[in-house]
Structure 1
Amino acid sequence: MLTNNVVIAHRGASGYAPEHTFSSYDMSQFDMKADYIELDVQMTLDGEIIIMHDETVERTSGLPGVIKEMTLKEIKQLDVGSWYNKQFPELQRDYFIGQTIPTLEDVIGRYGAVNYYIETKAPEVYPGMEERLVEVLDKHGLLSLERLQNNQTVIQSFSLESLIKVHHLVPAMPLLLLTKKGVLRQMTDDALLKIHEFVYAVGPSIKDLDAPLIKRMHQLGFLVFPYTLNEPEDMKQLIAAGIDGAFTNYADRLRTAFNMDNSEIFEGNQPEL
């Protein structure tokens, strides 16, 4: 079971490649040996689960468009890799050009039964998202009791309501509650214990985390996986404070910080996809 020194590749290796693209996932999964691929899911007009952080496509495609108003065919025509070369010229690669938005089924088809951390983004915008998500995961064998008991398929959200829906659909599903700054500190122990009946971990912002809060969460039974842990000094401090793992754009750095370096050198130069 993945409960210690857990490296969750936030949008893939998004510190080195365009987020939520195969170029990013390949780096985190094959080169950096991250424990999990982290995916943000949205839903298209025609009910397809796609992998995208924003509710619009503008930031990464340069074109206007609201995902819930677009079909999968329209979304698949977008280039969501070229922007990265322009924004980070020191990291540009020719094969980033033309990267497309994958569906959840595309990702599963490429990486199979690896470990997934899946976030329901803006679930209030997409009625039926949780049901459709569970349907796709079940179709591909990712909801086996063994996987769920080993925390290999995990659902996360800032929306407690969304997590409750998933829990009702799949009672054994491991769930993580993401929280913005101040939320965990404001919650009573009784409220947190009630949530812990179906949520096994919390994901607070690193801006809101210190040793006393980590200790409190552990005492209540939660694992603690903060977001987004990118800087070596922050990694050192929070690992010393007792985190169980973290979301990071730099899985290679976090592996090293956890003293999990497998002696492989990540050079950042990947073959064309």
Structure 2
Amino acid sequence: MAYMKIWGHRGAYSSAPENTLAGFQMAAQMGADGVELDIQLTKDKEVVVIHDETIDRTSNGQGRVKDFTLSEIKKLNFNKSGRTEPLFMEVPTLEEVLELLNRTGMTINIELKTGVIYYDGIESIALKLVEKYGMSDRIIWSSFNHYSVQKIKLLEPDSQTALLCGGGILVTGEQCEKVGAEALHPSVHMLRYPSLVEDCNKRGILIRPWTVTNDEEIKLAENIEVDSVIVNRIDWAKDVLAYGKSDEI
């Protein structure tokens, strides 16, 4: 059985504010094999790492990411809950995250958040940043937007890509093949559909489920022999894989 890799969801989601430099640093320290993050584009075409199209949920500000310049959005605090130090955290740029993780050897799954707002040019801008740091072979590009995945492949044919599915959106192994995606990133509950798993396996499409949160789910993923699991709790996932159980009640 191949080693199933552990990727931290939005950094170290359970231990630090999501999509922050502190969270990505913590994921590296915890020994994650990779991290998953989300990118959007500011008003002045800077790639920032944030999940939502608005800043309301994760910062002390309000509004859409695309309506802020980088200097404006950098003034806001993205440690809204104040549960970890430092108490003030900026939204990171993709370049800052690449610089931070460059020496770690970790895989970075960059999700292009172009399903609600299409950010013109985000694919080429992000590709150039990755190329600048010589990290192309460690990046997995993913999106719910099939066009964004196709554009990544058009601009850089050697890029590794994946289609996302979940929340009522079904994607098949055949659809992955059509856009040239090497992997499917399904919501974890979709692992319970044998036909989907079998179809991907038959076509050589890797499976990396999100977000794996309990012992039953991670053991299911391991039994199916998925490539990687995207988790909120990195230390818990490592314990389950190492010892076969956790301290869950």
Q: Same fold (TM over 0.5)?
A: yes
Partner of residue 170 from structure 1, selected from 156, 162, 166? 156
- Aligned pairs for 1:84-233 within 5 A: 84-85=81-82, 92-93=83-84, 95-113=85-103, 114=105, 115-122=107-114, 124-143=117-136, 147=137, 152-181=138-167, 183-184=169-170, 187=172, 190-195=174-179, 198-210=180-192, 212=194, 213-233=196-216
Alignment pair present for 1:256 and 2:239? yes
Q: CA deviation at 1:112?
A: 1.5
Residue 260 to residue 184, structure 1, CA distance change in 2 (3 Å) = farther
- CA distance, structure 2, for counterparts of residue 75 and residue 128 of structure 1: 20
Q: Which has the higher helix share?
A: 1
Runs of 4+ that moved beyond 6 A: none
Residue 8 to residue 219, structure 1, CA distance change in 2 (3 Å) = same
TM-score (norm 1): 0.81
- CA distance, structure 1, for counterparts of residue 64 and residue 168 of structure 2: 30
Q: CA deviation at 1:122?
A: 2.0
Residue 190 to residue 117, structure 1, CA distance change in 2 (3 Å) = closer
Q: CA deviation at 1:42?
A: 0.5
- CA distance, structure 2, for counterparts of residue 221 and residue 182 of structure 1: 24
Matched to 1:131, the amino acid is: S
Aligned to 2:247: none
Task: Report the identity percentage.
Answer: 31
- CA distance, structure 2, for counterparts of residue 260 and residue 178 of structure 1: 30
- CA distance, structure 2, for counterparts of residue 109 and residue 183 of structure 1: 34
- CA distance, structure 1, for counterparts of residue 32 and residue 7 of structure 2: 6
Aligned to 2:12: 13
TM-score (norm 2): 0.88
- CA distance, structure 1, for counterparts of residue 99 and residue 176 of structure 2: 37
Gaps of 5+ in 2: 245-249
Residue 74 to residue 260, structure 1, CA distance change in 2 (3 Å) = farther
- CA distance, structure 2, for counterparts of residue 183 and residue 66 of structure 1: 24
Q: CA deviation at 1:183?
A: 4.3
